[in-house]
Structure 1
Amino acid sequence: MTAILAILPIFTLIVVGYVLGWRQWLTPSSAGGLSWVTFKLFLPCLLLTGIARAPLGDALSPLLLVVYFVPALLLFAGFNLYIRRRTGQASAIGLSASYSNNVLIGIPLVTALFGAQGLVYLFALLAVHSLILFSTQSLYAALGQGREQRPNVLSLLKTLANPLVVGLLLGGLINVTGLSLPDPLWQVLDWLARAGLPCALIVVGVGLTRYRLRTSPTIWAVCVGKLMIFPLMVLALGSLMPGLSPLALHVLVLAAAGPIGVNVLAFAQPGEEQHTVGASIFLSTLLAAGTLPLWMLAMG
């Protein structure tokens, strides 16, 4: 029951966003404005205030990243190898199976279950999550398309230097240096941060109205890999690794068990692959409403 109560508000807000977008009570222009202010202001403030006050400690351990990213990269390689043999081209299917929506779903979920103590581990993961997986995807796509498509380091850095990363870096800088900010400034940052999670979940719901719910063997395979195999691999590897706290392992498993992040669409080729990735995002988000409570129950 605790698991259901923890996840119910999250998916309720996603449904609210979906209804607002489906009925067009939130028009495309107003939804775009809400999305902009959420990702450029509210969520960066949330990440900044969270990591600035977090007791980093064990969260900076490389073990945390090994337990999460070794399974992620194995899934990335496995799915891409399969698609490569079928089509002969590089794709974003492997990224879909390994990239979680750890900001929009992960933060409210971990906050509801573990509070600030759990967020420390999630913030440590978020600091390099997009950097590692997006860099790997960009390199793979460039090498797979031939020499003329070799990765441009400057363009990759511009892609990764988004306000969310800036918020994490500023929060880490304040934490490490012990910089003291004026109380009124903290109050403003806290107010902006509180708007982040509800607005982000509504944006997810509105965004889902752009995708159609359709299935195929590939879409089901990606969703099973993302929602079941990925967290199972993280749980197995984390259980074998000495020195990883139970709380850290629980956060990593739930992060791996989250639905596919919408940012994956930016790497999908237009046409059939984009439709497949979009449908996978939609289906994984729907299925996660049932699989996430199961993972919570499985870990006690």
Structure 2
Amino acid sequence: MTLFLHHIALCAPLFLLVFLGWGLVRARIFSNDVTKALGAFTFRLLMPTLLFKLLSNLSEMPPIDWRVLIAFFGSCAVVYLGGRAAVRRLFSTDAAGTTVLAMAGIFGNNVQLGVPIVQLSLGDAAMPTISVIILFNVLLLWTVAIASVEFGRHGRIRNPREVLAPMLRVFRNPLVVAILLGCAWSFTGLKLPDFVQKSVDLVAVATTPMCLIVVGMGLARHNFSAALPKGLFVTAVKLALQPFIVWLIARALGLGELETNAATLMAALPVAINIYLMAQDFDAEEGGASNGIFVSTLISAVTVPLTLTLLGVAP
């Protein structure tokens, strides 16, 4: 219990900032236009700067155990395929709706919530591991989603280029660019000029609180009561089933403690707001996606500290 209370206290300031952002929008202090602008600012400048800073020292950190990808994305495959079957049986959804709800069970808020939580609880040593997960998460999951919808609607993939396009567009993603540049810079052995490094440090310090507030502001756009049964199903899968399967695979592979904890914690994050964008893009299950995002974020304020406790992460 003492360890659980420690992790509650550790994570509480992070989630308090999330709910602060939610309250600011619900109180109409800031409009949706402000939310979108701050979201773009965070995504295109703040978070890439933080990732570059963290990974610019990659050559001085322990090497990445690439088996972590098997643990994380192996769980994604299991949960996604099982989720599709369960969603169709429980909710009688069409191809697009099934894809959205099943994808919600594996597509977590890895950047805006994941990076601050992992950095605070596991330290900078876990950054290379979660950066690899973030990189392949962006690369693979949207491609799988588009392919699933295409196949479900037409019984075949009619346009392979449309399915493969996200794999090429990923290299224009600011987060991916920052990860790759940070890794490349670390192996040059060079140091940034002192005045540049100080500027990068200042931006990085502002990133975590801004990201968390922006997450909360985004949540204010979603409805708690919309498609509640679907949201609860998605929440249970995302916050309980996926992290458990990641942990099982990581243990079976003999991954180290840091890699196991990092991958499991990334899997225990709430549903990403990107799932709502996916629902809009596919014109399917916007209510279920909206509810899954809101409910999973709310409940994760307890389940994330609980996951840290069960993993035995020491203070």
Do both proteins adopt the same fold according to a TM-score greater than 0.5, normalized to the shorter chain? yes
| Separation of aligned partners in 2, 1:94 and 1:295 | 22
Alignment of 1:129-168 (within 5 A): 129-146=137-154, 147-148=157-158, 150-152=160-162, 153-154=164-165, 157-158=168-169, 161-168=172-179
Of 65, 81, 85, 1:81 maps to 85
TM-score by length of 2: 0.88
Alignment of 1:140-219 (within 5 A): 140-146=148-154, 147-148=157-158, 150-152=160-162, 153-154=164-165, 157-158=168-169, 161-214=172-225, 215-219=227-231
SS at match of 1:25: coil
Of 233, 256, 276, 2:288 maps to 276
Distance change (3 Å), C-alpha of 1:140 and 1:252: same
Corresponding residue for residue 265 of structure 2: 254
Alignment of 1:23-102 (within 5 A): 23-54=27-58, 55-59=60-64, 61-84=65-88, 86-90=92-96, 91-102=99-110
| Separation of aligned partners in 2, 1:105 and 1:236 | 23
| Separation of aligned partners in 2, 1:136 and 1:179 | 38
**Any conservation in 2 of the 1:38–1:199 contact (CA below 8 Å)?**
yes
| Separation of aligned partners in 2, 1:156 and 1:248 | 25
Poorly superposed stretches of 4+, deviation over 6 Å: none
TM-score by length of 1: 0.92
CA RMSD across the alignment: 1.9
Note the C-alpha offset of 1:84: 4.6
Residue 32 (structure 2) pairs with residue 21 (structure 1): no
Of 112, 115, 127, 1:104 maps to 112
Note the C-alpha offset of 1:145: 2.7
Q: Which moved more, 1:5-14 or 1:135-144?
A: 135-144
| Separation of aligned partners in 1, 2:223 and 2:239 | 20
**Any conservation in 2 of the 1:212–1:279 contact (CA below 8 Å)?**
yes
Describe the superposition over 1:194-217 as per-residue Cα deviations: whole angstroms up to 9, x where unpaired: 111111111111111111102533
Please, which runs of 5 or more residues in structure 1 have no aligned partner?
none
**Percent identical across equivalent pairs?**
28
Note the C-alpha offset of 1:58: 3.1
Q: Which moved more, 1:176-185 or 1:275-284?
A: 176-185
Note the C-alpha offset of 1:247: 1.5
Corresponding residue for residue 238 of structure 2: 226
Please, which runs of 5 or more residues in structure 2 have no aligned partner?
none
**Any conservation in 1 of the 2:53–2:182 contact (CA below 8 Å)?**
yes
| Separation of aligned partners in 1, 2:230 and 2:35 | 31
State the number of aligned residues: 298
| Separation of aligned partners in 2, 1:271 and 1:125 | 28
